[in-house]
Structure 1
Amino acid sequence: MKAHEAVMNWVTAELSSGRLRIGDHLPSERALAETLQVSRSSLREALRVLEALGTIQATTGSGPRSGTVVTAAPEQALALALNLQLATSHVEHSHVYEVRLLLETWAAEHSNPDGGDWDAAERLLKLMDDSGTPIQDFLLLDAEFHVTVSRAAGNPLISTLMDALRASIADHTLARAQALPDWDSTVTRLRSEHHAILDALRRGDRAAAAELVRQHIRGYYMETAN
């Protein structure tokens, strides 16, 4: 078994048993190496792998926030895997578009009007409504808005997958947006569509919200596909 697999198995077992929780510190490097019977150098390599996967976060210095802490950032690992797949052309951007349609329309169809953080979504829309917001910032806010409203469906895996998908195509999305001949017209339409989606979700009209999301994603994809 490779060192990072041994560490991952240990962390998984500790989390499953309740002996370790998100936010807890891992034992010291020396103690963990002795427990798992791996060398310090192999352990460090394993910890770097786990940090890249979003399982842990290592910080230097002193104090309660230093050391290696167990985290929960599965979207980091998913985005990394998707980036590699896109780079090898095994997965194309059209595939990401199709998956987005599936995930986001499902989330709208299963949303709970009493379970959404609509105030947070509204704050994001206000920031996007600012005409001085740069394209890059707008797109980041746009991504956060879609993830935020999807949480009303009560399925954290959906939101995690959406977050990973959007992170993996962020550079591509920015490049396509910057290439549009009339960004001002596009962003005006996107703002209007975002408000309509939020209104439908808030009033519990799932069918309307799902159709608005479908049109929104499809329209922007078709506009930027060429």
Structure 2
Amino acid sequence: MSEFTAARAHDAVLRHVEESLRSGALKLGDRLPGERALAEQFAISRASVRNAIRALEVMGVVRSATGSGPNSGTIVVSNPSSALGGALRMHVASHQLPLKDIVEARTMTETWALEHAATAPWTPEQIDDARRLLEAMDDDGLPSQIFTLLDAQFHVALSALAGNVVVSTMMESMREAIRDYISDAAVRQGAWEEVVHVLRAHHHGIFDAVEARDGVLAARLVREHIEWFYGKAI
């Protein structure tokens, strides 16, 4: 089979899965047929099927597991932020996507989200997710690496209050794309105790503004917070 033909065989499986998802023939939690069945269905090699499955895994569309239990096989999932975050991280590492541009995009996205969260119909239970992360970050014994992980989750949790799943996915993706740079920057800080004190104060101010549904203040505070940290650390 030529390289071109193999690529077309690979695409046939991807198109089939896309069309099946769009039509509802495939839903979250469903299993794809096995390699042999797909190879016979499309008259292609099992190697081409495996390539298609790997591509779907990278996209966050399926999860594959060996064995014979209830979680075995190739199962349809939905994990777009992981897939987008991984792709962005690779392009940041290759210097094709400047870190500065990712930070600017994150600032635009998060300020929009917090401003719109002011009028979104979120519940007390939803904001409690961010509150728990805020309280966890107040622990003075947290290593910087753990703090930055909680920090990322905190920002994503607040942005999710806007109720826009695409914006939430983009936020998670951008945080994933620059997570190593943030962790490294935190480690490099010679006076981390002073930095983390400022970050905690920023977080509490941002949270209070969101909880009070003051979107203008929340957006301004998160912009100042992001610019302060990256100006100091990157």
1:63 matches 2:63: no
SS in 2 for 1:174: helix
> Cα offset for 1:110?
0.8
Partner of 1:79: 85
1:159 matches 2:159: no
Identity of paired residues, percent? 44
SS in 2 for 1:110: helix
8 Å contact 1:124–1:141 — kept in the other structure?
yes
> Cα offset for 1:113?
5.5
Partner of 1:24: 30
8 Å contact 2:115–2:216 — kept in the other structure?
yes
> Cα offset for 1:189?
1.2
Among 130, 141, 158, the residue aligned to 1:121: 130
Q: TM-score, normalised by structure 2?
A: 0.91
> Cα offset for 1:77?
2.2
> Cα offset for 1:31?
1.5
The aligned runs of 1:168-207 (5 Å cut-off) are: 168-207=177-216
Partner of 2:98: 92
Structure 1: which 5+ runs fail to align? none
Amino acid at match of 1:216: H
- 1:182-215: per-residue Cα shift (whole Å, max 9, x none)? 1111111111111111111111111011011111
Q: d(CA) in 2 for partners of 1:151 and 1:36?
A: 41
> Cα offset for 1:35?
2.0
Amino acid at match of 1:175: D
Amino acid at match of 2:167: I
Query: How many residues are aligned here?
Result: 225
Among 14, 17, 34, the residue aligned to 2:20: 14
Partner of 2:145: 136
CA RMSD of aligned residues (A): 1.4
Q: d(CA) in 2 for partners of 1:145 and 1:42?
A: 41
Q: d(CA) in 1 for partners of 2:154 and 2:173?
A: 14
8 Å contact 1:76–1:164 — kept in the other structure?
yes
8 Å contact 1:21–1:70 — kept in the other structure?
yes
Q: TM-score, normalised by structure 1?
A: 0.94
Amino acid at match of 1:115: W
> Cα offset for 1:219?
0.7
Structure 2: which 5+ runs fail to align? 1-6
Q: d(CA) in 1 for partners of 2:78 and 2:194?
A: 39
Partner of 2:4: none
The aligned runs of 1:42-57 (5 Å cut-off) are: 42-57=48-63
Amino acid at match of 1:95: D
8 Å contact 2:107–2:226 — kept in the other structure?
yes
Partner of 1:146: 155
SS in 1 for 2:161: helix
Q: d(CA) in 2 for partners of 1:53 and 1:113?
A: 30
Q: d(CA) in 2 for partners of 1:16 and 1:141?
A: 35
Q: d(CA) in 1 for partners of 2:44 and 2:91?
A: 32
